[in-house]
Amino acid sequence: MPRQDAPAALDLEVLKQFRTIFQSIRQHFDTIQRSCDISGAQLWALSCIAAEPGLRVSGLARAMALHQSTVSNLVEGLVGKGLVLREKSPADQRVVLLRPTEAGLSIAAQAPQPAHGLLPDALARLDPATLRTLQGCLAEVLAAMQGRMDAGTGMDTPLSDIR
């Protein structure tokens, strides 16, 4: 039930802001898909691997704030396209290291920026006080939506995969 003290126009302005954010994100991911033939999430993963050759899947999952199984699927797609190689660590054969191929480095270098996406880039540019305020406000929005979706839904879904 909408609050009685909030002007409807303000609610609609905030809704428009969310729409603008979502549309901007979608356009960026569509540009990546057209120019690189990989998803936005795959480009983010590839750019992380290119920046840190020898990265482990667990490290990539932490860098992208995604579940390790989600990242494993992203890596599988990059390996299948010949953009990333999996190599056993010389120090410990049980450890798998990720390395970009020449084709992967080329795509990472020529891809539309920011490679990690518009929203993560924008959030990284905000000062900590603003981020804390935004986190609190979004927590209120999510609480108001409680019961409308399963708990944790979408938390491990890359933004480029959300439709």
How does pLDDT run across 42-94, given as a tens digit for each residue? 999 999 999 999 999 999 999 999 999 999 999 999 999 999 999 998 888 88
Q: Say what the alpha-carbon torsion angle 86, 161, 139, 4 is, to the nearest 10 degrees.
A: 180
Query: Does pTM surpass 0.85?
Result: no
In whole angstroms, give the CA distance from residue 26 to residue 81. 23
pLDDT in tens, 6-30: 667 999 999 999 999 999 999 999 9
Report pLDDT for 146: 81
Residue 107 has pLDDT above 70, yes or no: yes
